[in-house]
Structure 1
Amino acid sequence: MIPLALDPARVTIALAGNGPLALRRLTQLREGGADPQVFSPEPDGELAALAGDRLVRALPEASDLDKVGVLYVMGLGTEAETALADLARQRRVLVNVEDVIPLCDFHSPSVVRRGDLVMTVSTGGRSPTVASLLRQRLESLFPEEWAERLRTIAELRNRRRAEGASMSEVARESRDLIDREKWLP
């Protein structure tokens, strides 16, 4: 596995699915800054509401996928998911079919977000339970105040770089601040 962090401002993401897994994935994508087109032939009320004007009440066609870089698929049944994964690959779109490892070009890690601090855990799709348990541990080790802590470190970095400090000086000063404030156990 090669971990990557995608910038949704540069990579167009779409979701094709129905049910609670589609709702969960759409929520996660939105938390990451994406506003994906949602293709759902039979969306429930919650999915339709969350998707809003980004909802298309059909599965994507080849022309739809020509505008997409990454496609998430779930809750459509084996036949539709397999066909959609094949179509996506033909269009050179990276695809993830939820919980169907042979149809996945990539796996989505379990994520902890603290502002711009993003920590992930992946088992390569082998054990979502292990990834979830480790994510929960990270959440307890890195509480919400880490969002502000990261802003503080970023301000220090930006100020010191503008003053002409080298990257090694900034790194040392950042470590000193973290140690002084006892942010890490």
Structure 2
Amino acid sequence: MNTLFPIFVKAENLHTLIVGGGYVGMEKVTALLANAPAARVTLVAPDIRAEILEMAEHHPNLQLVQELYHENFLTDKDLVIVGTNDKGVNRQVQTDCKARRILVNVADTPDLCDFYLSSVVKKGDLKIAISTNGKSPTFAKRFREVLEEILPDSLQETLDNLTAIRNKLKGDFVQKMEKLNEITNVLK
């Protein structure tokens, strides 16, 4: 049974540490910045891919530190994502995060994760997060592709219209909710 509690975080209000500068680190920093371009991110790794170095040129809030991981890098961090090919380093980062009560995700190691990174469908302001409870990120990716294909690009217009309607509605929260439920009933 999937007992995960889905949330959307305002990553631009957090300081995220990514440990790992290889392909997985690149994948994680790319996903984070695609969803929150203004996010403050520090990436630490002794070797950093050229694509990440290039990415840093376009994202002033992406700080690269070309060093081995040390627990001091956790100071003032709110969230940590680990993606190295060294299981010892991955476990050490997870242990250090636990000691400091910092939420951590260790790529491809569900047992060491406090949270999973979802596959995300984006259509304007609409975001749908897909999780398989860590069982199959590949399935989540394929399902995301299906949803991206079938959801119309006009969804943003619908969201804008519903926002305008909501802003004009009179009454208390319950009355507004009932009216919006009535209006959106056509989506069933």
TM-score (norm 2): 0.82
Deviations 1:85-138 (A, max 9, x none): 111221211111111112211111111112221101111111112212221221
**Taking structure 1 as reference, are residues 86 and 172 closer, same or farther at Cα in structure 2, changes over 3 Å only?**
closer
Identity over aligned pairs, percent: 28
Deviations 1:128-176 (A, max 9, x none): 122122212211222333233222222221232xx54732354145416
CA-based RMSD of the aligned residues comes to 2.2
Structure 1 equivalent of residue 17 of structure 2: 14
Aligned residue for 2:30, secondary structure, equals helix
Structure 2 equivalent of residue 37 of structure 1: 42
Structure 1 equivalent of residue 90 of structure 2: 81
Aligned residue for 2:11, secondary structure, equals coil
- In structure 1, stretches of 5+ residues that fail to align are none
Aligned residue for 1:111, secondary structure, equals strand
Cα deviation for residue 17 of structure 1 reads 0.9
Aligned residue for 1:50, secondary structure, equals helix
**Taking structure 1 as reference, are residues 123 and 90 closer, same or farther at Cα in structure 2, changes over 3 Å only?**
same
- In structure 2, stretches of 5+ residues that fail to align are none
